[in-house]
A and B are shown apart, each in its own frame.
Chain A
């Protein structure tokens, strides 16, 4: 393979990885933007999305087959289920803690994350489950570079979801309410916005996006595992920070950028795939030293 081929192949790999990161990072950033909470459980909701999608697909495959129709239906159902679970978690675990010290709510979020991961571990005996689909390996050949149709559809689906989210946040009343709450919750309440409902909506959308990424990852990698949300959660957080936490276009940009950085980074001599995670966390730490507001983030002025 020539140098250009490697560049192009890694571009394809990086874009798909980046789409997953971006979808998960969106939920992080939306929740952080609206209630300033780092939702540690977010990566586990991504994992849960994949597992619920797996269960639904194994029921649906008898009627709809293992191909795109079945995957799409199970993705929609899983997104709804996980989204509702996200709202439930927010109501039960986070709502009562909003006025408590920051440390308490962070520990609460951590506990929720551990509960979700270990519950799935107990249910699956910690085994990898084969996410069996019937998509074939056809694709486009561009010289020595090979891109499967599956990869193209997944990147396309992620793009559709992100564009839909952008339009929702910027063109609808609900989106306007979300942006308003991120700026001043009390003023919103005085203006007659049902703040709790909008926060619930934010959780619903954020977690269902993570769930969609989970199913896509299951489809792409072909196996799912209870621990798959841990590293992706961390990477998604890194993406959100790269783009500027709280900023929705920033999360998309950050996710794609991190995906590309990772897939190109592993091509650098001496940085093999085993160092991939060290590479990304290294980026996170360097970023926090030199530009903690990220690319599109605004300098935050803490008010008292």
Chain B
């Protein structure tokens, strides 16, 4: 088995119209599928029970996180192993500001964005100048630092975390039921898709692709590679931070053990599984990530083992993921 062959094999299958998803090539078919799926997602709370809604809210939540990490990993080609840290920054910002300072939930979002940005710049600034391997290990260390800080500070509630985070309300309507949160996370996921799509097709998105494929050539063409990577890193951080705010609001309690290295790896797996750099692929990955343990409950704690094996097999035999990006 040689990997160059398997890469080109996967690519051929994807752009050839004869592939299993070939019928999606037509614009009309695509629109039909999309609208059916959108309608299903919108109408789900009318027929589903709370368990299904809980799981599906989780799916939309992971869609947002995975899309955020996808900007760093998929678009810019940087390996971030501490993504849960940004998610933690957002969650703790909302948690601390609402529960200890009585700030309105919606006002904590800009604060979380600000803090995520600062964290992204502090970590990304120095390391993005170096080889990309360093970023991987520094982000890993950063993820641990954030978790240890959250565990040991008084303001973050120590090891037991924060409780009693207020549920948000909008125009006097309190978002409290699981069905409400389902819609909140659905809207967030759709927004994340929209922003990702716009970014991917922007000038910055093309610069990311260029830097990912050939850093030196990109620099020779006048792209500031450090700045471009830093944008990817910071935008990814903002996605994670905002997701964290809503996570804190939904759970009303957060603890440091939510933001472990395992969490970062899970989010990364969602990105890798479906196909790095492609929005539908990442969505498929996030679905697989949440639904798999629900379906195979018996696996229990060995689910990470199964995920890791899947990740290895994907990397060896299908490095572009289940649903790879089309090479243009």
Contacts and interface: CB of A to CB of B under 8 A. Distances in A.
Interface of A: 38, 93, 96-97, 99-104, 106-108, 110-112, 114-115, 118-119, 121-122, 126, 230-231, 234, 237-238, 241, 274-275, 277-278, 281-282, 284-285, 288-289, 292, 302, 304
Contact of A292 (B134, B141, B216): B134
B305 A289 contact: no
Contact of B312 (A101, A112, A288, A304): A112
A115 B309 contact: yes
B316 A115 contact: no
B50 interface: no
Contact of B144 (A121, A241, A281): A281
A38 B127 CA distance: 16
Q: Is the interface of B mostly helix, strand, loop or mixed?
A: helix
Given A38-B137, A108-B315, A278 B302 contact: no
Interface stretch (B17-25, B55-63, B73-81): B73-81
29 contacts: A38-B136, A96-B316, A97-B3, A100-B4, A101-B77, A103-B79, A103-B132, A106-B79, A106-B133, A107-B315, A108-B316, A110-B81, A111-B309, A114-B305, A114-B307, A115-B308, A119-B305, A121-B302, A234-B144, A274-B148, A274-B151, A274-B152, A277-B144, A278-B149, A281-B141, A281-B142, A284-B138, A285-B123, A292-B134
Interface in B294-328: 301-302, 304-305, 307-309, 311-312, 315-316, 319
Q: Is the interface of A mostly helix, strand, loop or mixed?
A: helix
A108 B141 CA distance: 19
Nearest to B308: A114
Contacts of B140: 234
Most buried by B among A103, A115, A121: A103
B2 interface: yes
Given A103-B73, A108-B312, A289-B126, A278 B148 contact: yes
A231 B260 CA distance: 13
B311 A288 contact: no
A234 B311 contact: no
Contacts of A285: 123, 126-127, 138, 141-142
Given A104-B319, A107-B79, A288-B130, A126 B312 contact: no
Nearest to B151: A274
B133 A118 contact: no
B66 interface: no
B103 to A, nearest CB: 27
Contact of A115 (B2, B77, B305): B305
Given A96-B3, A277-B145, A107 B268 contact: yes
A122 B302 contact: yes
A32 to B, nearest CB: 8
Q: Which 8 pairs show the lowest CB-CB distances between chains A and B? A: A114-B308, A281-B141, A118-B305, A111-B312, A289-B126, A111-B311, A108-B315, A115-B308
B184 to A, nearest CB: 32
Nearest to A119: B305
Contacts of A282: 145
Given A111-B308, A288-B126, A99 B3 contact: yes
Nearest to B134: A288
Contacts of B73: 103
Given A97-B315, A115-B308, A118-B308, A278 B145 contact: yes
Contacts of A103: 73, 77-79, 132, 276
B315 A104 contact: yes
A24 B88 CA distance: 30
A277 B143 CA distance: 11
B40 interface: no
A122 B301 contact: yes
Most buried by A among B132, B216, B305: B305
